[in-house]
Amino acid sequence: MTGRLVLGGREWTPGSTVVMAVINRTPDSFFAPARGLDDDAARRQFEAAVTGGAEIVDIGGIRAGHGPEVSASEEIGRVAPFLRWARDQDARVVLSVDTWRAEVAQALAGEGADLINDTWAGADPELLPAAAELGLGLVCSHTGGQRPRTDPHRVSYGAVSTAVVDQVAESLAAAAARAVDAGIPAESVLVDPTHDFGKNTRHGLLLLRHTRRLAALGHPLLMALSRKDFIGEALDLPDPAARLAGTLAASVHAAAHGAMVFRAHDVAATRQALDMLAMIEGRIPPRRSVRGLA
């Protein structure tokens, strides 16, 4: 079972579900409504996310996939002023920075960051020691050896159908152990199988099917599923705008099998879906219950 989560002075107990909102300070995010390079648009996104139930907000300054080169200084310039603004707006919200660069993490730690979401699995070897030294939480990811901003091509994990699950579990366990050894508290180390990164659609579905094994690693399990290509291919929906229903189904399945944190473009819908699951399972009461009582 996934352990407790502690970030930015906040704590969530095992069995909790936490929504991580996405704000991309980029002009070219794969999902257009998440683009928040414009300050006013990003601020509206932040306010809507908090109102919708986000407890973590993940802010990125560079597209994960192919695109124009963005230097570390430009990435910092896109994120730092907004991060300062967000910190001033709400001290309760955990602020995450989506970067693989140690230089960026070091620059933004003083602007209010609580967590580094390293979606490229330690591509910069200096990122882990920087996060530990700065007292930041860390997301450990799996990319199958892919380099930053590259797409998978004919990836294979062996003849056994579940080999990808074995490799992801082993890789995440090792990465989390390195983070703890470096000084990051175990409850501030998240693990993410990182759907679509170094994986095809069948790999993504298999990893979801084996969520319990990943949750059993003992660290808070993050699922970044929102509107991703494996959902689009599985349902034959090329347009990311059409993938909300598939995202919610995948998220509820993952929550039912032990995932804790959900990176989401659609915060309110994700929060409602996860809360409905918790009510069905009896973990939280209904917000209102008057039918048949009057």
Point out the catalytic residue in the list 228, 243, 283, 287: 228
Task: Report the 3 state secondary structure along 229-290.
Answer: HHHHHHCCCCCHHHCHHHHHHHHHHHHHCCCCEEEECCHHHHHHHHHHHHHHCCCCCCCCCC
> What is the Cα–Cα distance from 37 to 30, expressed in whole angstroms?
14
97: CB partners within 8 A, 6+ apart = 58, 59, 60, 79, 83, 104, 105, 108, 113, 115, 116, 117
Report residue 204 CA to chain centroid gap: 15
Q: Could you tell me where the DSSP H helices lie in 110-200? A: 127-134, 163-182
Residues 227 and 31: beta-carbon distance below 8 Å: yes
Q: Which of 35, 227, 243, 263 is catalytic?
A: 263
Check residue 221 and report its DSSP letter.
Answer: B
Q: Which residues, other chains included, contact 177 with Cβ-Cβ below 8 Å and sequence gap of 6+? A: none
End-to-end CA distance of the chain: 41
Residues 6 or more apart whose Cβ sits within 8 Å of residue 227: 30, 31, 240, 241, 243, 244, 247, 265
The number of beta carbons lying within 10 Å of the beta carbon of residue 118 is: 28
The answer to whether 25 is a known catalytic residue is no
The two three-digit tokens of residue 222, written as one number: 């993050």
228 catalytically annotated:
yes
Give the active site residues: 228, 263
